Amino acid sequence: MKWNYSDIEKSLNSSIGRTSKHAAQEQIKLFSQEFKEQSKDRLNEALYGILNEAAPTMWVGVRKVFKEELETSKSAFQTFLKEFDKILPENELDAKVNGVQETCLELLRGILDSKVGEIDRLMLAKFKKVFLFEEDGTARTWEEGDLSSIFKEAKQAGESLLDLFCILRLEDEYEKPAYYKLTDSGITEIAEPSFPSNIVLMKKVEAHRALERFRDAANSELTIAKKDQERAMSSSSTPTYLWVLILILGANEIWAFISFFLGSWLGWFFLLMLASIAFAIYHLNLTPVILPIVRPMVNQAIQTAKEKVGMGGKSSKPKKD
């Protein structure tokens, strides 16, 4: 048998080519898996605040983050694949780069799906932010004010999240149209314009369930607020006769209290301490923090005094035979 060098060379080159190609594909596969995890972490970190705040302009931020991540991922992939441009065909390398967009979109969709799964919690958080807190972040008090108008504003803020999370709005053409129209009885789906099924994040039945859960929770908050308002109004409306009665019954104690402060150095020291504390509270603008704590205690003391007076009045009435 005659030994043919060219045949051996061809066979050896073919074997080396197959081995090199297989090794290159394995390296690209490992890089893709690692890079996918890194991309997911970057997207989660960048979108966390945007999705939890759920502002009306949420999708502007989402699109910006997605675009930046897509550019970063494509650039990194192209740099990495240059090492294999002599091993793998060009069309295969281009397909790998083009697949980055699909991977990033899949990661974004997964993050949004997880948020849609807790949409009723996000809606309630948005509702409470408006209903329970003032614009400056201080807690609302229900002594007075139009409770129904505040509740309506907070309820609309919470329900607006359904439209915000109902479809994937990465294209400008899907920015303004609403997929769901909210009514008092539920959600009405808008037929026109229609949207591709692959961008729908929340189906109508899921939105209905989330809306029902949210409205139940919001109504519970309203009931609690109404009770707090009634309690605050009843506590603040102290009748004149009660003040007169307190002054008459506590005249000795009041005089002893005044004498203590005016006739003792310890009393003057105590007054100086109170004045210093009052100045510090005013200077540091701590009144919005202190008042919500002190007011319930004062109201409770007044309410207790009223109950005591009422019980005393009832017990003093003569019994009928």
pLDDT in tens, 140-196: 877 666 788 899 899 989 988 988 898 898 887 777 767 677 777 777 765 545 677
More confident residue, 126 or 293: 126
The string of pLDDT tens digits covering residues 200-216 is 888 888 888 888 899 99
Torsions phi, psi for 238 (to 5 deg): -80, 125
Confidence of residue 320 (pLDDT cuts 50, 70, 90): very low
What is the helix (H) or strand (E) element at residue 186, kind and residue range?
strand 186-189
In contact, 138 and 228? CB cutoff 8 Å: no
Residue 307, pLDDT score: 65
Confidence of residue 12 (pLDDT cuts 50, 70, 90): low
Residue 39 reports pLDDT greater than 80: yes
- SS3 of 189, please? strand
Confidence of residue 313 (pLDDT cuts 50, 70, 90): very low
Of the chain, the percentage scoring pLDDT greater than 90 comes to 17
Mean pLDDT of 119-142: 87
More confident residue, 33 or 241: 33
Among the listed residues 107, 42, 46, the one whose alpha carbon sits nearest the alpha carbon of residue 76: 42
Residue 65 CB partners (closer than 8 Å, separation 6+): 43, 46, 47, 50
